[in-house]
Amino acid sequence: MPHPVPLDAPEVVEGVVDHLLYVSYDERTVLRLTAVTGDEEGITAVGRALFGVRPGESLRLHGNWVHHPRHGRQFRAEQCERTMPADERAIRFYLGSSMIRGIGPVLASAIVDVFGEQTLKVIDADPQRLLEVHGIGQIRLGRITAAWQEQKAIAEIMVFLQGLQITPALAVKIYTTYADTDDDPMRIVRRTPYRLCRDVRGVGFINADKIALAVGIPKHSDARLQAALLHELDQAGANGHCHLPVRLLIARTRQLLTDDDPASVEILDDAVLRQALAALHGQGEVVIETLPLPVLDGTDALTDTEIAMLPHRHRDETQLASHVRRLLTSTPALSGLAPWAEHVAALTGAETAGLTDEQHKAILTALTRPLSILTGGPGCGKTHTLQTLVDLAEQADAVVALAAPTGKAAKRLEETCGQPAMTVHRLIRPADGDSLFDHASVLETADLVIIDEASMLDLALARRLFAALRDGCHLLLVGDTDQLPSVGPGRVLRDLLDVEGIPRTRLTKVFRQLDEGAAITLNAHRILRGERPREDPKVFWNRPVSSAEDIAERVVDLVCELMPKHFGAGPEDIQVLCPGKKNVAGMTDLNLRLQQRLNPPSDDRPQHYHGGAAFRLGDRVQQVRNNPHRGETGVFNGSSGSISAVDTETHQLTVTFHDGEVATYPFIDLDELVHAYALTVHRSQGSEYPYVIVPMVSAAGMMLLQRNLLYTAVTRARHGVMLIGQTDAVERAIANNRTQRRNTALTHRITHDPAAV
């Protein structure tokens, strides 16, 4: 028997670019290719690796075939090499595409008719011979040779950049960024390499610096210092900050520039770096302001602080602030619609018994005030409150729009409120006229917009959301500020709560967990206060284990044997939640171990290998991308279920999700799934499980071991929590509340109207 070839091994496709179909803002490129390999002629290829290619270019693509629900079979390119067109057909395309001004398909064909496969050799070595072709005179000859020289220039720059360990893909991108400008790419790379950080996505300070030092740009040049400052500001954003205090920015930049160059410490003093920063400010590349901001030392006293910001973040923050003010002062659309206070008071009827005073207040506020916030931890009745609010509003013929920052949260919201919900991105998508579902119309008519899981709103998304709301439209933000912060910079929900004029309700009464899981809630609050959780014989356990290897082993035993034996909980009731993916006690390894024990290979369990793991009948899996076209009503990022069928004949498997959705996956689409025996805490946000096991290893690193992360993990559990691992990892996580310290000035900007000064 021949060794089975994994079906998802990278494949190679060669062809000539016919035309571009689409290029997204983030460089994802879709194009049509005339293939010179395989049996298919016309191929659709997709990928960011394709960014910058032009019609007529010959490509060799490495990647995989995938099936797109709307556009059918297509090639997902991971890598893209430029090749010299080899056969006649390819050369015809190459010359006949718009690459050379003055040569169209007809003339290209004429040239190839004369020289055949030798065409390119002729153009390179003996261009005068082109005059033999009918229709080519000196002018066209000149153009052709010039275009050819350009091709050679590409080759030259590629060799140069790859010599500096710049990947071929990035080298192509650098070249194509400048290819259509009047500048000579090689000249830019050699003379002003730090420009690349700004112009080419994917080139950061580190790469630009490599090039710069190689071409002899002085280490203390202004360009280098400025690039380093911008890099540090950018990095701060990746860590959630909207700005950096200038003093901190200077200190970090100096560290970046002198870390492996101690000799420069004296030269790169404060004054030098401040001067470089001032220059950036002068060029409009950095905004510098002095604002009264809280000192992040726990006292929260306001101190005049000089801060630096990237201009787009400054714009987002100031615009969001002014939209918040606009909303706060607008006349609420629902105000005349119904006697809301009476309606809400009438809710004390029997059928809604259980609605607390705070829930009443939240509902009335949302109906009467243009902007309000509803917060509360898990189990405090946010869902019930929302259901009642939506019903009440709709009974009065108000138009309600529901949305959330993630697909999964939107789906959940839709289910609990019994009416359509969407991602915030879709809600605010501008009307494009020919779209079948014109989401923009929703916001044009909406009277009340409810955003669930609002703690996940980052600065940029919040700005776009607020800007899209018409005057008078009510906005209710619902969330739990103690959960993990947004991926992008900012801490919008917390900042809004710091604005006194914004009405808010905090739901404190916990309904769930009262009897059996009370210790979980109590411990969650201890963690938030920075205290160690207390053991509880029935629901909260702490198992000190010191080596990571032992932790991994114990976790598997707990899931497969100990917890089922002691608590009668089946392994399916237990969710392992890891801080990180890597290391032995991380998500990836634990998934393999748990799969091996809970669902081992066997003859009656067909399977398929994909991405280093077997997808086997019975496996627990989770979807990791929104796919509205999969299954009956779409499958969303975060949904989990189990593999209910594997068909090795038709190369597809079926997943039955916990929400009842049944979806089919061709094997080539298995990128959309991960095993879910163990998940990261981040991915568990918004879900709950009967029992949760959290392996704690200090190897996960301080960036991960945070108070909010532990809080989020613990609050996912309804009946029981097991913290297993290194005691110091638990303690350090509890002590680490740096997520709360994101630098933002949003609160200040809302409360201090510059126009009023």
Partner DNA sequence: AAATTATG
- Pick 302 or 487: Cβ nearer DNA: 487
Q: How far is CA 188 from CA 194, 365, 439, in A?
A: 9, 58, 43
Q: How far is CA 439 from CA 79, 430, 434, 501, in A?
A: 35, 8, 12, 31
Least distance in Å: CB of 575 to DNA? Answer: 14
Chain center to CA of 350: 45
- Pick 33 or 324: Cβ nearer DNA: 33
CB atoms within 10 A of CB 23: 16
Whole-number Å distance between alpha carbons of 465 and 477:
11
Alpha helices by DSSP H, listed for 59-137, are 88-96, 105-115, 119-125
- Pick 358 or 661: Cβ nearer DNA: 661
Output the CA torsion sign for 257, 262, 264, 270. Answer: positive
- Pick 54 or 343: Cβ nearer DNA: 54
* Residues 6+ away with beta carbon under 8 Å from 403: 410, 413, 421, 422, 423, 424, 426, 427, 449, 450, 451, 452
- Pick 241 or 323: Cβ nearer DNA: 241
Residue 473 is assigned to a ligand binding site: no
Whole-number Å distance between alpha carbons of 687 and 680:
12
- Pick 412 or 504: Cβ nearer DNA: 412
Nearest partner of 409 among 638, 688, 663, 641, judged by Cα = 638
SS3 597: helix
DSSP structure string for 530-581 = TPPPPPBTTTEEEEE--SHHHHHHHHHHIIIIIHHHHH---GGGEEEEES-S
- Pick 27 or 124: Cβ nearer DNA: 27
- Pick 76 or 719: Cβ nearer DNA: 76
Nearest partner of 204 among 164, 170, 159, 177, judged by Cα = 170
Parallel, antiparallel or unpaired: strands 678-680 and 574-578: parallel
Least distance in Å: CB of 290 to DNA? Answer: 28
Q: Which residue type, as a one-letter code, is found at position 577?
A: L
Least distance in Å: CB of 531 to DNA? Answer: 25
SS3 310: coil
Nearest partner of 386 among 404, 94, 495, judged by Cα = 404
- Pick 554 or 742: Cβ nearer DNA: 742
- Pick 280 or 424: Cβ nearer DNA: 424
Least distance in Å: CB of 69 to DNA? Answer: 9
Parallel, antiparallel or unpaired: strands 689-696 and 574-578: parallel
Nearest partner of 65 among 647, 615, 625, 668, judged by Cα = 668
Least distance in Å: CB of 28 to DNA? Answer: 5
Q: What are phi and psi of 356, to 5 degrees?
A: -80, 170
Whole-number Å distance between alpha carbons of 143 and 145:
5
Whole-number Å distance between alpha carbons of 358 and 336:
24
Least distance in Å: CB of 59 to DNA? Answer: 15
Least distance in Å: CB of 517 to DNA? Answer: 25
CB atoms within 10 A of CB 699: 16
Q: What is the DSSP letter of 612?
A: T
SS3 122: helix
Residue 381 is assigned to a ligand binding site: yes
Least distance in Å: CB of 265 to DNA? Answer: 26
SS3 684: helix
In the complex, the residues that contact DNA under the rule CB under 7 A are 21-22, 24-26, 28, 30, 44, 46, 68, 70-71, 74, 238-239, 405-408, 422-423, 425-426, 429, 487-488, 579-582, 586-587, 624-626, 636-638, 680, 682-683, 700-701, 703-704
Least distance in Å: CB of 50 to DNA? Answer: 11
Least distance in Å: CB of 581 to DNA? Answer: 3
Residue 382 is assigned to a ligand binding site: yes
Q: What are phi and psi of 98, to 5 degrees?
A: -70, 15
Q: What are phi and psi of 648, to 5 degrees?
A: -75, -10
- Pick 48 or 369: Cβ nearer DNA: 48
Whole-number Å distance between alpha carbons of 47 and 75:
9
SS3 54: coil
- Pick 54 or 582: Cβ nearer DNA: 582
- Tokens representing 578? 């890891």
Burial of 446 (0-12, 13-18, 19+ CB in 10 A): buried
Output the CA torsion sign for 589, 594, 597, 602. Answer: negative
Whole-number Å distance between alpha carbons of 455 and 404:
10
- Pick 150 or 438: Cβ nearer DNA: 438
Least distance in Å: CB of 435 to DNA? Answer: 8
Least distance in Å: CB of 44 to DNA? Answer: 4
- Pick 24 or 290: Cβ nearer DNA: 24
Cross-strand partners of 199:
none
Least distance in Å: CB of 26 to DNA? Answer: 5
- Tokens representing 242? 């909207």
Number of alpha carbons in the 13 Å side-chain half-sphere of residue 135: 11
- Pick 63 or 370: Cβ nearer DNA: 63
- Tokens representing 627? 């796919």
Least distance in Å: CB of 331 to DNA? Answer: 31
Binding positions? 379-383
- Which residues are part of a known binding site for ATP? 379-383
